[in-house]
């Protein structure tokens, strides 16, 4: 799938966030509402509801994953793995920016590392990290996504990397 159109519409990242305070089009506001509903479903730990936001031909990447996600079933597997690792997982949107059929979310995640994540056994430590998710939507469904988050921050929180100095 070609997402150059999405990139052309958004322009520079700084410009995009500068536009976040403007009144969006109806479609852009609907797209941010869809993203908020998606996060609410994550916070409710409602796997079926989360799956329902994704198109059958969805393809997405995560900075911490070796292979892309394909379709709602991969989304379900990803969500269940996250909830096993962090059963009290809570997400919070810091900012949602929509431009036509593209949505970018700046978010925070919090939870207790109570299960295996990235082949790392549970530590019982509290984790708080930030990330960015970029979605492309079509007909009210997510068809493409990219998730970049603070993997090093998680590793620091669970004691596998030293704290930052300074």
**8 within domain boundaries:** yes
Query: Is 163 part of a structural domain of the chain?
Result: no
In a domain, 50, yes or no: yes
Give the span between the Cα atoms of 105 and 135, in whole angstroms.
Answer: 8
| Count of C-beta atoms within a 10 Å radius of residue 22 | 7
Q: How many domains does the chain have?
A: 1
Answer yes or no: is 131 within a domain: yes
* Token representation of residue 5: 């159109």
**Res. 4 pLDDT band, cuts 50 70 90:** very low
- The answer to whether residue 145 sits within a structural domain is yes
For the segment 85-117, what is each residue's pLDDT rounded down to a tens digit? 999 999 999 999 999 899 999 999 999 999 999
In a domain, 101, yes or no: yes
The CATH number of residue 37's host domain is 3.10.450.50
Please report whether residue 162 resides in a domain: no
What's the CA gap between 127 and 82, in Å, rounded?
13
Q: What pTM does this model have?
A: 0.84
Could you list the residue range(s) of the whole structural domain that residue 146 is in?
4-157
Whether residue 164 lies inside any domain: the answer is: no
Tokens 């079933």 belong to residue: 73
The CA distances from residue 97 to 13, 51, 55, 145, 147, in Å, are 10, 22, 21, 14, 15
């Amino acid at each position: 799938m070609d997402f150059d159109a999405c990139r052309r519409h958004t322009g520079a990242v700084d410009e995009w966030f500068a536009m976040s305070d403007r009144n969006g089009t109806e479609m852009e506001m609907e797209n941010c509402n869809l993203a908020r509903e998606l996060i609410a479903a994550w916070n409710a730990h409602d796997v079926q509801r989360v799956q329902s936001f994704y198109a059958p031909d969805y393809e997405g990447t995560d900075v911490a994953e070796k292979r892309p996600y394909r379709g709602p079933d991969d989304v379900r597997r990803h969500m269940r793995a996250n909830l096993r690792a962090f059963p009290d997982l809570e997400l919070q949107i810091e900012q949602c920016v929509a431009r036509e059929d593209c949505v970018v979310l700046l978010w925070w995640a919090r939870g207790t590392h109570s299960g295996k994540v990235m082949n790392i056994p549970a530590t019982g430590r509290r984790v708080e990290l930030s990330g960015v998710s970029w979605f492309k939507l079509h007909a009210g469904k997510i068809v493409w996504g990219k998730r970049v988050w603070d993997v090093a921050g998680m590793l620091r929180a669970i004691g596998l990397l030293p704290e930052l100095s300074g």
